[in-house]
Structure 1
């Protein structure tokens, strides 16, 4: 394993004026961060990283995602059993999809036609028609579902069930489960390339790589940043570059991001970020990685090409997820 790089701690609030400017691919780009304990979404300017708005949402906002044309931001509000819809131009909640039991993580299907939502308490996957904002199907899955991922062709949905240590593959057209894939303890989040689905197993301390063609485990990646016991390494958020060559994995209590060569499944580097990194998101040009640090109430911006921390920016209490309008 490559040794860790002890960079400037991202959980210290750094002076914006003293650091180089990061410019997103689109000059009007904004960064959205859900704050689980503040019940808000923080909006940061994509050039200066100054806060431009704080949007009040339902209680306990967790996963957030933009629609394909980046005009709407969907927010899973777990304690209010609803998905809030934020108008990106108005920077305000303009509608809500209600009656969704304990939504935590979701994905948006091709064409923005459907929303696929994990209902943690109910042990179900809800499918919402976004045109009508109505529930069209509820599918029983494993206990405590969290991670949800729609395949690139929209034909299948992968669901990670934390308590069942299982990833289930659901056929969208029929609503039936077509595969059950055992993985490590407490699977949390999912990311995909054209041929693989990556699954973070938090208690197991590793990432499982699933083959999309036959729904089997094709590999397992372990992490060993220096100075940490194995039980402190708790991967949660992860993302892959569009070409599938590189993965970024948030290691939770280890306060690091692992950069992984997807072909060899070897860790290239560890980057020190804030306390308990959780959600991660790449800019459109994949030049910068944005990391939500749940225990230090900030996000870390990483130069993804250099593998170096650029700065940290304070947000609300217990940031959970990041979405980028660039």
Structure 2
């Protein structure tokens, strides 16, 4: 399955292991695209050609999403309900919630899928929650307005962005403490890890860049600057990212610039920029990497991009303020 860009690259790293360890998605979920709509309090369901199939009512202001381990459920963070909704995929309905802190934003799961690590904006913490028992486990204080969360595949470390402090917190999950702060760009938002785990890519919304962090030294080793013809730097606001299934290209939503950029992972050069809808943030791939889906939060639609030609092929309505895209196999 193609998971969200701002959490760990566990699905891609898992591909290096035996096939028996891969996450299985039931037949009823295969080939579907889920889009969270913040204003409609729904998840919209599409096929991979952009036809809408269904709508699922969930909790208030749904944002970040992930499948559980066997793909039978979708976890969705609901910012105005202060909860994580649990959606039954086969039944197409909300079947439960897990209480969270004030204004939760993004999350990642522990390798065993039992714990959700959630950025809680108003409390300025990373909160750990037992999904089955539906109870908090612990909190780690962060800088102001934590957002992106990524848990390493070994479950030992969590990375969390602080939009106010302009840092990435490195959190030791055994000691439950911040072990290091990595200075990046202005208003860091989301993460993607390189397939080999050596690099952590971080979008910096307010300086038109992506930081590339060395995961061994926990230092920023490079910044990639974006420029769009006819756009001011202030309008180029990268937030969401997704890496192609082959690991060769990083795709970056440029926010108010209304474009998506394709970056060569090896050379860190921008290969292409594609016009999409307004405020391009959430991104998700089909498993074969042939189609990229882009949630356009201010034009209330989703753009489908043919990655081979580097062109948008269709834009479809996707509810009011679409946020995150989740694609099943």
| TM-score scaled by length of structure 1 | 0.89
Once the two structures are TM-superposed, the CA of residue 130 in structure 1 deviates from its matched residue by 2.2
1:297 aligns with 2:300: yes
Shift of 1:98: 1.2
* Structure 2 match to 1:15: none
- 1:182-193 aligned within 5 A: 182-193=183-194
Could you tell me how far apart the structure 2 residues matched to 1:99 and 1:230 are?
Answer: 36
* Residue 246 of structure 2 is aligned to residue 211 of structure 1: no
String of CA shifts for 1:186-207, please: whole Å, max 9, x gaps. Answer: 1111111121111100011100
Partner of 1:6: none
Aligned to 2:205: 202
Aligned to 2:130: 129
1:118–1:27 distance in 2 versus 1, CA, 3 Å:
closer
TM-superposed CA distance for 1:85, in Å, is 0.5
Q: CA RMSD in A?
A: 1.6
Q: 2:295 & 2:231 partners in 1: Cα distance?
A: 21
Report 1:81-96 matches (<5 A).
81-96=82-97
* 8 A contact 1:199–1:207 mirrored in 2: yes
Task: Give the C-alpha shift of residue 110 in structure 1.
Answer: 1.0
Task: Give runs of ≥4 in structure 1 deviating > 4 Å.
Answer: none
Extract unaligned runs of 5+ from structure 2. 1-26
- Measured in 1, the distance between the counterparts of 2:315 and 2:230 equals 23
Q: Is this contact kept in 2: 1:274–1:298, CA < 8 A?
A: yes
| Comparing 161-170 and 25-34, the one that deviates more | 25-34
SS at the partner of 1:164? coil
2:110 maps to 109
| Residues 67 and 74 in structure 2, CA contact (< 8 A), matched pair in contact too | yes
**How many residue pairs align between the two structures?**
301
Tell me the CA shift for residue 99 of structure 1: 3.7
The within-5 A match list for 1:42-61 is 42-46=44-48, 48-61=49-62
Q: Is structure 2 residue 259 aligned with structure 1 residue 256?
A: yes
Aligned counterpart for 1:34 among listed residues 27, 33, 36: 36
Q: Residues 245 and 288 of structure 2 are in contact (CA less than 8 Å); yes or no, is this contact kept in structure 1?
A: no
Unpaired runs of 5+ residues, structure 1, are: 1-24
Structure-to-structure mapping, 1:1-326, within 5 angstroms: 28-46=30-48, 48-193=49-194, 194-326=197-329
Deviation at 1:241, TM superposition (A): 2.9
Task: Tell me how far apart the structure 1 counterparts of residues 152 and 30 of structure 2 sit (CA, whole Å).
Answer: 29
Whole-Å Cα distance in 1 between the matches of residues 286 and 173 of structure 2? 29
Deviation at residue 50 of structure 1 after TM alignment? 2.3
- The answer to whether the 8 A contact 1:83-1:100 is kept is no
- Superposed CA offset, 1:30-49 (max 9, x none): 11100111111111123x53
Distance in 2 between residues matched to 1:52 and 1:282, nearest whole Å: 18
Question: Hey, what's the Cα distance between the residues in 2 that align with 1:291 and 1:104?
Answer: 19
Question: CA–CA distance in 2 between the matches of 1:66 and 1:307?
Answer: 28
Which SS does the other structure have where 1:231 is aligned?
A: helix
Show the counterpart of 1:9.
Answer: none
Structure 1 range deviating more: 288-297 or 106-115: 106-115
TM-score (normalizing by structure 2): 0.88
Counterpart CA distance in 1 for 2:81 and 2:273 is 37
For 1:165 and 1:28, locate their aligned partners in 2 and report how far apart those are by CA, in whole Å.
Answer: 38
From the superposition, tell whether residues 62 and 27 of structure 1 become closer, same or farther in structure 2 (CA, over 3 Å): closer
Are 2:303 and 2:312, in contact at CA under 8 Å, matched by a contact in 1? yes
CA deviation after TM superposition for structure 1 residue 251, in Å: 0.3
Q: 1:309 to 1:69 in 2, by over 3 A?
A: same
Q: Give, in angstroms, the shift of residue 253 of structure 1.
A: 0.9
* Residue 26 of structure 1: how far off its partner (Å): 9.7
| Contact 2:29/2:328, CA 8 A, preserved across alignment | no
1:27 positional shift: 8.9
